[in-house]
Amino acid sequence: MLVLGIESSCDETAAAVLAEGRRVLSSVVASQDAIHAPYGGVVPELASRRHLEVIVPVVQQALEDAAVRLPDLDGIAVTQGPGLVGSLLVGCAVAKSLAYVHRKPLVGVNHLEGHIYAAFLTDDPPAHPFLALVVSGGHTALYHARAPLAYALVGQTRDDAAGEAFDKVAKLLGLGFPGGPIIERTARTGDPKAITFPLAHMTDRAPDFSFSGVKTSVSLYVKRAAPLSAQQVADIAASFQAAIVKMLVRKTVKASLRLGVKRLVLTGGVAANGPLRAALAAAAAEHGLTLHVPPPRLCTDNAAMITAAGTDRLAAGERAALTLNALPDMALAV
Ligand code: KG4
Ligand code: ZN
């Protein structure tokens, strides 16, 4: 089964072709980082416009790299949500047009399910049931993947997403965009124990996350300590990163022990973070849990993960009508 997948939910325009939903024949990702960098965050209108410019060449490149022609395809998958509406609309319109003209089955994919499916594109895919920590620029949530295509929401952020916190703190420190990779690099020369940023505690003991408190403490600290030396910036980056990692690891391990789930998946853009990968691996080993983490290029937004999820949904008989619409708040589970 050959499927073309299209992803345009945020600021990456991506297309991929997969065989049987697991073999990546091509995966093209056109990043818009340079466009949004001057603003320190994604500017929705600029994102939509850039998607519109590059999406057809990106799809062409994915087909060419895979040596596949549109008539050869068995289906088309597209990210339907969640994400920026203007961005999603571009991918949906292109996917629908191709499906209509070439009479191909179409399926809408949840972007977060896509992130989880990145784990199935490795040599060591997880068996169900497993607990997935999806940490990205727009989302931070724990999903219990009980069986293929069946998810329950275990916990989520009550305010900012973890990636959003990385991006905002990087902006506060004048480091640039996107913040995650820059904070990680800056933190290497810093002391993670230099400053103790307070971790949020849920008074109702829910397995939810909260990152706005840490972000605010960093902001207050920066204001008090300004002007900052390079070493202070590195120490803040390292201490902030350590706080985020600690909260993510603590909540994830706790939830898996409570649910009795033995396997963990770590995915989403923030899962590219080295210290997070290492800390969750150590905690998992300590508690006898198996951890599956896709390589960084599959953790950040790409279309291979969308195509993998879409292929399984097409194989299960799912079909989207040509009236398919973008769902900016699309939920994966409740
Ligand atoms: O999954 P993703 O590519 O897009 C969304 O669906 O949001 O995630 C992007 C987020 C950004 O906030 C970025 O700063 C963060 O992932 N990120 C990282 C790293 N690489 C990307 N955060 C921490 N460390 C990284 N190495
Ligand atoms: Zn994403």
Q: Which of 334, 283, 293 shows the shortest CA–CA distance to 116?
A: 293
127-180 pLDDT, tens digit each: 999 999 999 999 999 999 999 999 999 999 999 999 999 999 999 999 999 999
Residue 109 identity: V
What is the crossing angle of helices 85-102 and 44-66, to 10°? 30
The CATH number assigned to the domain with range 2-116+299-315 reads 3.30.420.40
pLDDT tens-digit series, residues 239-260: 999 999 999 999 999 999 999 9
In DSSP terms, 76 is beta-bridged to: 4, 106
Ligand 1 binding pocket includes 114 (Cβ within 6 Å): no
Average pLDDT over residues 262-273: 98
Beta strands in the chain (DSSP E): 2-7, 12-19, 23-31, 75-81, 106-110, 130-135, 140-147, 150-156, 263-267, 290-292
Supply the angle between the helices 274-286 and 179-187 in degrees, to the nearest 10: 70
Q: How many helices (H) and strands (E) does the chain have?
A: 11, 10
Percent of the chain predicted with pLDDT > 90? 97
Sheet holding 106-110, edge to edge: 23-31, 12-19, 2-7, 75-81, 106-110
Ligand 2 being an ion, which residues bring their Cβ within 5 A of it?
136, 301
Look at 106-110, 196-200, 276-280, 285-289 and tell me which has the smallest mean pLDDT: 196-200
Ligand 1 neighbour 163 (Cβ under 6 A): yes
For the chain, give the number of residues. 334
The token duo for 219 is 């902001």
HSE of 250 in the Cβ direction (CA atoms, 13 Å)?
15
Our mutation pick for probing the ligand 1 site, out of 300, 302, 330, 332, counting the most ligand atoms within 8 A of Cβ, is 300
Residue whose Cα lies nearest atom 22 of ligand 1: it is 180
- Which tens digit of pLDDT belongs to each residue from 194-204? 999 988 888 88
Q: How far apart are CA 15 and CA 28, in angstroms?
A: 5
Q: Which CATH architecture has domain 127-293?
A: 2-Layer Sandwich (3.30)
Per-residue exposure over 247-269, b if at least 16 CB sit within 10 Å of its own CB, e if not: bbbebbbebbeebebbbbbbbbb
CATH 3.30.420.40 region(s) of the chain?
A: 2-116+299-315, 127-293
pLDDT tens profile 210-246:
999 999 999 999 999 999 999 999 999 999 999 999 9
Q: Are 51 and 325 in contact (CB under 8 A)?
A: no
- Closest C-alpha residue for ligand 1 atom 19: 180
Name residue 34's beta-bridge partners.
Answer: none
Confidence at residue 205, expressed as pLDDT on a 0 to 100 scale: 83
Q: Are 218 and 199 in contact (CB under 8 A)?
A: no
Handedness of CA 241, 292, 82, 296 (dihedral sign): positive
Q: Which residue has the tokens 């097409």?
A: 314
Mutate to test the pocket of ligand 1, among 270, 276, 302 (most ligand atoms within 8 A of CB): 270
What pLDDT score was predicted for residue 200? 84
